């Protein structure tokens, strides 16, 4: 029977998708003699095949769009040589609209933030210009002038509220320009970050103080003195909600709201940290320093994966893992097309000479990179940067007012407490390991000794002896001797325990390397 060409093409496509989800090749079970084990393994292999087929079908029907990257024609051509003008001529009209420049030299430099759906953008000029833009329709919803310095801007749980770090205090506005709150406790804030799953607004101020504000209740969760000086480098890890700060000493510290000490303090550069960013998976961190190096770190082992020469004032990862590095008037995009954590140069873009880049940010669910600079803001196309298929339960670009209200209620019901922020969130829900037994107090030791002696007294049995040797006085003396022996053995045991612990500690100490052995404390000769 001949299969129609369309059905044949569909089945071939489905086979390719199934191979993507299969857990390796099939296991050869012919050599197994145990029939029961062979049957169990065959059943498991069958289940793996069914789950891979189901996943391939779901991907086919629920994820119809496929992402693509720039491809060079031959080994001589390089993707980073392709200019934005060439890309603009090759794409459709709706995509070409995403290439634009807004020039406002009197209010710059600009910083920006996108909503989780990528439909709205908030922009803030250093000289007091605030605006909310519908980037899908290229329409300004509202713009106003606050007449004082604005250092940063960030959206809260949806586009109806955004926070602006101004000269003295942090303010929360509605898109109509109405001031909703003034957060005076935060002080003169340099950077803002929002933790959407916890409804927490995190800020770092002029004096190096880290604040956490619960915006659902309007209460301050914690105020932490970092003790490492002023910094304006701050990002949130999307995987676990940990806030990372880059300091002038070249260190990066990671914080949670329930601890006054950093969870991690790592030396990343031999000079001030100028920028950092987290991969969407949360296991990869990029840092840039004034030592003219850009480093990629594996956060599961806290090791350097790659080091690139160059300086970056701002860094950002896209949804598909592309890394944008901006400095002066030049933007460089690094990619990991092989998914082997080996990043290489993918694209490059030069701004007009004299434009100083202040901020780069990828737009969610679009192949677009937003650039805030000294003369306004710009938008360029980066093929393959955005997630091609959106999940309407996570971020719906077409949501109505009713859907937005329902989503806000669900978010509040699913709000996570600050205690759930930790380096390894997979520990939540597991059984806490038993604590080591603490050293007993003096009263507890005395009570234990008395109980042991009473037990010894009650269990003393003496043999009945001949006349004259079985007097009550002699029996009492023998009992006293047995009790005193038991007491002496208990006291010796209690004195030996701390000595054995000390010996164990000494034996467990790791030998110092040869270079440090001369600094070790030497024992006096006996």
DSSP string, 187-237: -SEEEEEEETTTTEEEEEETTSEEEEEETTTTEEEEEEE-SS----EEEE-
Residue 482 forms part of a structural domain: yes
Q: Hey, how many other C-beta atoms are within 10 angstroms of the C-beta on 156?
A: 18
Residue 283 forms part of a structural domain: no
Chain center to CA of 76: 39
- List the structure tokens of 380: 């360029």
Q: What is the DSSP letter of 97?
A: T
Last residue of one domain, picked from the residues 45, 61, 77: 61
Chain center to CA of 33: 48
DSSP count for the chain of H helices, then E strands = 8, 28
Q: How far apart are CA 237 and CA 244, in angstroms?
A: 7
Q: Name the strand (E) or helix (H) holding 80.
A: none
User: Among residues 69, 103, 116, which one has the least CA distance to residue 333?
Assistant: 69
Residue 175 forms part of a structural domain: no
Residue 263's contacts (CB-CB under 8 Å, 6 or more residues apart) are: 242, 254, 255, 256, 422, 423
Q: Which residues of 431-449 are buried (b: 16+ CB within 10 A; e: fewer)?
A: eeeeeeeeeeeeeeeeeee
Q: Which domain holds residue 35?
A: 5-61
Burial of 108 (0-12, 13-18, 19+ CB in 10 A): buried
Residue 505 forms part of a structural domain: yes
Residue 38's contacts (CB-CB under 8 Å, 6 or more residues apart) are: 29, 32
Burial of 220 (0-12, 13-18, 19+ CB in 10 A): middle
3-state SS, residue 305: strand
> Per-residue confidence of the chain (526 residues) as pLDDT tens digits?
454 554 555 566 777 777 777 766 677 777 777 888 888 888 888 888 888 888 887 777 776 667 778 888 877 888 888 899 989 888 888 888 999 999 998 998 999 999 998 899 999 999 999 999 999 888 999 999 999 999 999 999 888 899 999 999 999 999 888 999 999 999 999 999 999 999 999 999 999 999 999 999 989 999 999 989 899 999 999 999 999 999 999 999 999 999 999 999 999 999 999 999 999 999 999 999 999 999 999 999 999 999 999 999 999 999 999 999 999 899 999 998 777 778 999 999 999 888 999 999 999 999 999 999 999 999 999 998 888 888 777 888 888 888 888 888 988 898 999 999 999 888 877 777 766 656 667 777 777 777 777 777 777 776 666 666 667 777 777 777 777 877 777 777 776 666 555 555 555 455 566 666 666 666 655 4
Q: Name the strand (E) or helix (H) holding 9.
A: helix 5-21
- List the structure tokens of 64: 């119809």
Residue 205 forms part of a structural domain: no
Residue 448 forms part of a structural domain: yes
Residue 157, pLDDT score: 87
Residue 477's contacts (CB-CB under 8 Å, 6 or more residues apart) are: none
Q: Hey, how many other C-beta atoms are within 10 angstroms of the C-beta on 127?
A: 17
Q: How far apart are CA 311 and CA 328, in angstroms?
A: 9
- List the structure tokens of 434: 């038993």
Query: What is the number of structural domains in the chain?
Result: 2
Q: How far apart are CA 215 and CA 467, in angstroms?
A: 91
Q: How far apart are CA 414 and CA 342, in angstroms?
A: 37
User: Among residues 298, 289, 352, 291, which one has the least CA distance to residue 325?
Assistant: 289
User: Among residues 319, 275, 272, which one has the least CA distance to residue 296?
Assistant: 275
Residue 439's contacts (CB-CB under 8 Å, 6 or more residues apart) are: none
* Biggest alpha carbon–alpha carbon distance for the chain: 122
Residue 41 forms part of a structural domain: yes
Residue 514, pLDDT score: 65
189 with 151: CB under 8 angstroms? yes
242 with 261: CB under 8 angstroms? no
- List the structure tokens of 203: 């800020």
203 with 224: CB under 8 angstroms? no
Last residue of one domain, picked from the residues 24, 45, 61: 61
Residue 260 forms part of a structural domain: no
pTM recorded for the entire structure: 0.74
């Amino acid at each position: 029977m001949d299969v129609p060409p369309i059905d044949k093409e569909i089945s071939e496509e489905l086979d390719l998708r199934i191979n993507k989800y299969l857990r390796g090749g099939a296991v050869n079970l012919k050599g197994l003699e145990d029939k029961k084990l062979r049957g169990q393994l065959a059943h498991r292999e069958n289940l793996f095949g069914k789950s891979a087929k189901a996943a391939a079908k779901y991907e086919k029907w629920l994820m119809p769009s496929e992402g693509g990257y720039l491809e060079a024609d031959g080994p001589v051509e390089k993707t980073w040589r392709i200019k934005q003008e060439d890309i603009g001529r090759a794409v459709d009209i709706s995509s070409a609209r995403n290439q634009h420049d807004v020039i406002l030299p009197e209010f710059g430099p600009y910083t920006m933030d996108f909503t989780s759906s990528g439909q709205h953008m908030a922009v803030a000029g250093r000289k007091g210009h605030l605006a909310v833009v519908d980037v899908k329709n290229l329409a300004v919803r509202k713009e106003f002038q606050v007449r004082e310095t604005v250092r940063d801007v960030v959206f809260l749980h949806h586009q109806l509220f955004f926070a602006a770090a101004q000269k003295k205090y942090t303010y929360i506005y509605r898109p109509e320009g109405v001031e909703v709150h003034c957060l005076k406790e935060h002080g003169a804030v340099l950077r803002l970050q929002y933790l959407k799953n916890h409804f927490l607004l995190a800020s770092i101020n002029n004096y190096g103080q880290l604040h956490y504000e619960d915006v659902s209740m309007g209460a301050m969760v914690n105020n932490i003195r970092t003790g490492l000086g002023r910094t304006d480098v701050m990002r949130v890890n999307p995987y676990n909600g940990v806030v990372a700060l880059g300091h002038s000493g070249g260190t990066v510290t990671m914080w949670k709201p329930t601890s006054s000490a950093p969870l991690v303090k790592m030396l990343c550069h031999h000079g001030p940290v100028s920028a950092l960013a987290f991969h969407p998976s949360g296991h990869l961190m990029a840092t840039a320093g004034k030592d003219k190096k850009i480093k990629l770190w594996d956060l599961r082992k806290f090791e350097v994966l790659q080091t690139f020469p160059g300086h970056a004032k701002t860094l950002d990862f896209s949804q598909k893992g592309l890394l944008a590095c901006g400095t002066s008037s030049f933007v460089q995009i690094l990619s990991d097309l092989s998914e082997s954590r080996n990043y290489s140069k993918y694209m490059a873009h030069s701004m007009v000479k004299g434009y100083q880049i202040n901020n780069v940010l990828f737009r969610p669910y679009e192949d677009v990179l937003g650039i805030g600079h000294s003369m306004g803001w710009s938008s360029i196309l980066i093929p393959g940067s955005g997630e091609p298929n959106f999940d309407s339960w996570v971020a719906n670009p077409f949501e109505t007012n009713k859907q937005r209200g329902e989503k806000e209620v669900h978010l509040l019901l699913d709000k996570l407490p600050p205690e759930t922020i930790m380096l390894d969130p997979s520990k939540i829900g597991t059984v806490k390991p038993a604590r080591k037994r603490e050293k007993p107090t003096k009263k507890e030791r005395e009570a234990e000794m008395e109980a042991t002696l009473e037990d010894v007294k009650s269990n003393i049995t003496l043999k009945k002896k001949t006349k004259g040797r079985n007097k009550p006085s002699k029996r009492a003396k023998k009992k006293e001797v047995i009790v005193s022996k038991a007491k002496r053995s208990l006291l010796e045991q209690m004195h030996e325990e701390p000595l054995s612990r000390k010996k164990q500690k000494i034996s467990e100490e790791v030998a110092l390397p040869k270079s440090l052995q001369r600094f070790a404390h030497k024992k006096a000769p006996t």
